[in-house]
C-alpha cells in the first residue's frame, strides 16, 4: 500500500496552486496560520517556498512589538520556527512527518522595520527517524542579521 502524501507534499502542492495568483501568497500564509494557530498570531507572509528553501517576511507593527519599541524576541522565534519548518517540511517524502524538538535563537540587534527570514537546507529523502538541525537567518531592510534561529526537527515516519 502506498504511503499517504506527507504534510510537506500537501504544503508544496498548495503553495504551487496559490502562490502565483492574486492574493495567493496571503491566502497560503493564512492557511499556515490556521494549521498552526499560534504561528498565525504574528501575521507573517510566505514570499517564496520550495523544497529546502523558505523566505518569510514579517511587518513591524504594534502587535509584535515589545516595550523597547522593537519586534519582540518571541515573535522573532516564531518567525524562525515557521521559516525553518516550511523549508524542511516542504518536499518531505510521502509517509514522513516532522516535529520541532528544539529551538534556540541568537539575537544580534534590535529588530525593526520589515524583517525577512530565510532558510536553506537539505530535505531528508527518507522517512527514517532522525534529527536535523536547520538554521534560519532573520534580516532587517538593510540586510543586517538581527537574529539567527537554530531549530532541531525530528523527521520520521508518519505512523
* Domain range list for the chain: 7-157
User: Per-residue pLDDT for the chain (159 aa), expressed as one digit of tens each?
Assistant: 565 677 888 899 999 999 999 999 999 999 999 989 899 999 999 999 999 999 999 999 999 999 999 999 999 999 999 999 999 999 888 889 999 999 999 999 999 999 999 999 999 988 899 999 999 999 999 999 999 999 999 999 987
Query: Quick one: pLDDT at residue 7?
Result: 83
Query: Quick one: pLDDT at residue 1?
Result: 54
CATH classification of 7-157, choosing from 3.40.50.1820, 3.20.20.140, 1.10.287.610, 3.10.129.10? 3.10.129.10
At residue 151, φ and ψ (nearest 5 deg) are -110, 135
Distances (CA, A) of 149 to 76, 119, 135: 9, 9, 6
Q: Are 132 and 61 in contact (CB under 8 A)?
A: no
Q: What is the DSSP letter of 64?
A: G
12-32 tens-digit pLDDT: 999 999 999 999 999 999 999
Query: Quick one: pLDDT at residue 3?
Result: 58
Query: Quick one: pLDDT at residue 118?
Result: 98
Query: Quick one: pLDDT at residue 9?
Result: 85
Query: Quick one: pLDDT at residue 159?
Result: 75
Phi-psi bin for 72: left (phi > 0), alpha (psi -120 to 50), beta? beta
Helix (H, G, I), strand (E, B) or coil at 26: helix
Query: Quick one: pLDDT at residue 94?
Result: 87
Query: Quick one: pLDDT at residue 56?
Result: 98
Distance CA 39, CA 23 (A): 19
Amino acid at each position: 500500500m502506498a504511503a499517504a502524501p506527507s504534510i510537506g507534499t500537501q504544503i508544496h502542492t498548495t503553495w504551487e496552486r496559490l502562490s502565483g495568483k492574486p492574493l495567493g501568497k496571503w491566502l497560503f500564509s493564512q492557511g499556515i496560520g490556521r494549521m498552526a494557530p499560534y504561528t498565525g498570531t504574528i501575521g507573517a507572509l510566505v514570499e517564496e517556498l520550495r523544497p529546502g528553501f523558505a523566505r518569510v517576511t514579517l511587518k513591524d507593527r504594534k502587535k509584535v512589538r515589545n516595550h523597547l519599541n522593537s519586534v519582540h524576541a518571541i515573535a522573532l522565534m516564531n518567525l524562525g520556527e515557521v521559516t525553518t519548518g516550511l523549508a524542511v517540511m516542504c518536499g518531505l517524502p510521502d509517509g514522513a512527518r516532522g516535529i520541532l524538538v528544539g529551538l534556540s535563537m541568537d539575537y544580534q540587534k534590535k529588530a525593526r522595520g520589515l524583517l525577512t527570514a530565510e532558510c536553506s537546507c537539505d530535505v531528508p529523502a527518507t522517512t527514517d527517524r532522525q534529527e536535523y538541525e536547520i538554521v534560519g537567518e532573520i534580516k532587517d531592510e538593510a540586510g543586517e542579521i538581527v537574529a539567527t534561529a537554530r531549530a532541531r526537527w525530528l523527521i520520521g515516519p508518519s505512523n
